[in-house]
A and B are shown apart, each in its own frame.
Chain A
């Protein structure tokens, strides 16, 4: 009986470890995916600019076109993610240029996209609870 109890304890620990390891791997994949996606979206948002002002040597980002591009990319990602797991992906777009203002010491036009993925608990173990993943990507124009 003693051997059986010890075996059962070890088995429960092993199974718990594997559940955690598999969930962690999944979490890291979602995090990596969001990181790449945010960079992709930021890059797309930074590509559209005011041509007339560009002729005067000023790079002014077009918020309307940038937002359309980010919305399109996020909508595609949302449908791809929903085929794997229930959840919703939202975005926040910040544009920085000489008209909209800069956020740092570097005076460079930039697009920054923050993605937040909200879903059910990503970890099946009861003492771990992660229901959202957030990653941010930034594209600066030198």
Chain B
């Protein structure tokens, strides 16, 4: 009986590691997927000169569809006016460069989140931001 009680106490603690491993693997795969999708969208945006509404929609649809999160929670902050290619580098960074910041909440960071973490503070968010040179010719 004593050993059964010890097992009952220890088992949930040990299962935490298994659940945490599963969550880590899932988050890692989701992060890699988001990075890959953003990279593909950036290649399109570079040719188009900006993140057009089609590129944004395709990116949001793809991420929300694959990760099963609401489209409204995927945030795409990027220049929507066309940026043209220059044959010199503008050191101020105001011309010829496209900036972007994509924010995607991908789910809980730790297992037993309702029990171990304060409410609303366990959400893992992937933020991918960067700058790229536009390839679009005037």
Contact size class for B?
Answer: 20 to 34
**When A21-B24, A65-B89, A68-B89 are in contact, do A44 and B133 touch as well, CB less than 8 Å?**
yes
Q: Quick check: B129 and A80 within 8 Å, CB to CB? A: yes
Residues of B within 8 A of A106 (CB): none
Of the candidate stretches B31-39, B50-58, B65-73, B114-122, the one touching chain A is: B31-39
**Chain A, residue nearest B133 (CB):** A44
Task: With A7-B10, A25-B28 as known contacts, state yes or no: A47 contacts B85, CB within 8 Å.
Answer: yes
Partner of B17, one of A18, A32, A47: A18
Indicate if the CB atoms of B88 and A65 lie closer than 8 Å. yes
B90 CB to nearest chain A CB (Å): 9
**B87 adjacent to A49 (CB under 8 Å):** yes
CA of A138 to CA of B17, assembled, Å: 41
> Which of A69-77, A85-93, A94-102, A115-123 binds B?
A69-77
> Are B28 and A18 in contact (CB-based, < 8 A)?
no
Q: Is the CB of A72 within 8 A of B32?
A: no
Question: Chain A, 1-36, contact with B by CB distance < 8 Å: what is the 0/1 string?
Answer: 001000100100010011001100100110010001
From 96 to 119 in chain B, residues with beta carbon under 8 angstroms from any chain A beta carbon are none
In angstroms, how far is the closest chain A Cβ from the Cβ of B135?
7
Q: Which residue of chain B has its CB nearest to the CB of A15? A: B17
User: Least Cβ distance of A98 to chain B in Å?
Assistant: 19
Could you say which interface size class chain A belongs to?
20 to 34
A47 and B96 CA atoms in complex are apart in Å by 11
Q: How far is the CA of A77 from the CA of B99 in the complex (A)?
A: 13
Query: In the complex, how many angstroms separate the beta carbon of B73 from the nearest chain A beta carbon?
Result: 21
For residue B125, CB closer than 8 A to chain A, the reply is no
| Complex-state Cα separation, A43 to B46, whole angstroms | 10
Residues in chain B within 8 A of chain A (CB atoms): 3, 6, 10, 14, 17, 20-21, 24, 28, 31-32, 35, 39, 46, 85, 87-89, 91, 93, 129-133, 135
Q: A-side interface residues toward B, CB under 8 Å?
A: 3, 7, 10, 14, 17-18, 21-22, 25, 28-29, 32, 36-37, 40, 43-44, 47-49, 51, 65-66, 68-69, 72-73, 76-77, 80
